[in-house]
Structure 1
């Protein structure tokens, strides 16, 4: 269960994503800008760009005066090794983004239902932590070239039954993206987090990075990612890594459906995470 608890500590604050990112971080997901909306929307807004799917956060900024709601309808993390059979499921984890200016947005994320199921033990059911953050563009967000933003967030310990980070946490990301052609794009999200120690006392640093490539095929965008995390807990340092697949389908200029899978590359990482979600701009 230590590895699932570590996922809660690293991912739920990112919900960013993700990452309510299990992408709960919150994760983080990758969130790949939706190149599927290749033509500018008729409304005059910027192309639709959601934080999900995936763990690489895009640097895009929501248009001022608009709201975007991004929800993980179902997100399941599976840990089946060393005799452990556990599943961490998150339902309805939602991030709400608010466009403040042309270069600044605010973000709030929360998971209303988290279920931790371990074979041979009673299920734990509760809510997740609340995450609040801001994202500021460091390059003009309306440009066609590379984009860079700075994102900072703090996670409040609102979770119940031990289903959160275990205390106040936070972090900062540097989302980066660049076009590699008409339909291909690159993304990277280096991140530094302050997370709770496993023994419950004090905090330590965690270093995270995600690198993504995505390709648009009309309204459908497919992506691949590599994600890694180093958790410098005083009691036990942990390295985690995944290879990820993402898919996003634009229904119209303001509505996106998505799905994805993250697959563990070492024993310290859960075997798999599978999720589906929806994002809507208002």
Structure 2
């Protein structure tokens, strides 16, 4: 998995669609389900990728700042790659990995600046859609997404130990303009000392507003209860994202996330691109 890199992701994204349509029996883009991505946003979509097809979602740049009276930590991720492959009509496998993670931590008390960079952890998930596998169907959509994260990160690029969790994506599409999404989550999260696990749980919720056939806006909120033995905390965030469908199976996105309390990172900015083959 470590052979993946941002250059490979971009190469796949810009490979002409026609090269894939030449395979015998391969459907054209018009015959595929509508492009339905898991980025941008705090919620998770219930939809799955068409059987036998690959969807690539790449975070080109993702920056986060977490500041308190004692220290400030800046984290930059480049090439945050997620591969989604349709195994069956309502089942997909997911593989996620960060190609480059850079952290800069300034300790105000000791007046020390620490820098580290490496690769991120590897996450493998299996999404099972329970109702409405494609986004354009009105009404209720539901799914289940169990996942496990393996400690492949180097130089503080990952959590330091394995973790696992379950997301239950739920949404209700009222019409072509408005969709309500809720994503409850429970996780065996890694302890702050990077060894061992604790229970974390919460949910993200938001609405998706289609401003046009190509542009979607999503205001969202997320609350998580993190029962880390070192510091039990409640994390609360608000986000606003925009997604622009530049082609039928290609999307650009941008997201802004703000922390709502002192336990939550102050700000996060991310841009990315998605494409289904």
Return the TM-score normalized by structure 1.
0.83
Which residue of the partner structure matches residue 221 of structure 2?
226
Aligned pair count reads 242
Contact 1:70–1:96 (Cα < 8 Å) also in 2: yes
Which of 117, 141, 145 is residue 133 of structure 2 equivalent to? 141
The Cα offsets for residues 34-68 of structure 1, whole Å up to 9 and x where unpaired, read as xxxxxxx9621111100000110000010001100
Which residue of the partner structure matches residue 263 of structure 2?
268
Which residue of the partner structure matches residue 124 of structure 2?
132
Which residue of the partner structure matches residue 50 of structure 1?
37
Which residue of the partner structure matches residue 215 of structure 1?
209
Q: Per-residue deviation at 1:208?
A: 2.5
5+ residue gaps, structure 1: 1-40
Of structures 1 and 2, the larger Rg is shown by 2
Which residue of the partner structure matches residue 9 of structure 1?
none
Q: Per-residue deviation at 1:140?
A: 3.5
Q: Per-residue deviation at 1:116?
A: 0.2
Question: Residues 230-249 of structure 1 correspond to what in structure 2 (within 5 A)?
Answer: 230-249=225-244
5+ residue gaps, structure 2: 1-27, 107-111
Question: Residues 79-158 of structure 1 correspond to what in structure 2 (within 5 A)?
Answer: 79-119=66-106, 120-142=112-134, 143-158=137-152
Which residue of the partner structure matches residue 188 of structure 2?
194
Contact 1:165–1:195 (Cα < 8 Å) also in 2: no
Contact 1:224–1:244 (Cα < 8 Å) also in 2: yes
For 2:48 and 2:251, how far apart are their aligned partners in 1? 17
Q: Per-residue deviation at 1:184?
A: 0.7
For 2:69 and 2:175, how far apart are their aligned partners in 1? 44
Which of 151, 156, 179 is residue 185 of structure 1 equivalent to? 179
Which residue of the partner structure matches residue 65 of structure 1?
52
Which of 229, 246, 251 is residue 251 of structure 1 equivalent to? 246
The runs of at least 4 consecutive aligned structure 1 residues that moved more than 3 Å come to: none
For 2:229 and 2:72, how far apart are their aligned partners in 1? 26
SS for the counterpart of 1:228 is: strand
For 2:247 and 2:74, how far apart are their aligned partners in 1? 34
RMSD: 1.4
Report which of the two has the higher share of strand: 2
